[in-house]
Amino acid sequence: MFFSVSRIVTVMIEYPDRWWFGSDLVEACGFSTFYQSLIYPALARLERSGRVEGRWVAPVSGKRHRRQYRIISEDVAAILRGG
């Protein structure tokens, strides 16, 4: 499947209370792992626009901090329009 911000938003809206790691979203959206590097800039733009909330998660077993995201805007039409 081709990379699409609308697909990311659609998946996140299906589970509005879930916090997502970028890698989990890549898988849930059906994107190839090639797109893993593209999902983080898209999530950062959504976060800056107030559509998505992000948080840092403490490392587990010596791993690094990771960022999780969840949808906070239910105005799907505005998100998909980019407005």
Query: What confidence tens digit (pLDDT) does each residue in 8-21 have?
Result: 988 998 988 899 99
Task: Decide: 13 and 74 in contact? Cβ < 8 Å.
Answer: yes
Decide which of 44 and 64 is more confident.
44
What residues does each domain of the chain span? Answer: 5-81
Structure tokens at 73: 């805007």
Q: Is the entire prediction scored with pTM above 0.85?
A: no
Say whether 58 sits in a helix, a strand or coil: coil
What is residue 3's predicted lDDT score, i.e. its pLDDT?
75
First-to-last C-alpha distance (Å) of the chain: 25
Q: Give the Cα separation of 57 and 80 in Å (integer).
A: 28
Q: Are 34 and 54 in contact (CB under 8 A)?
A: no
β-strands 66-71, 20-21 pairing: antiparallel
Q: What is the mean pLDDT of residues 38-58?
A: 92
Region 5-81: CATH code: 1.10.10.10
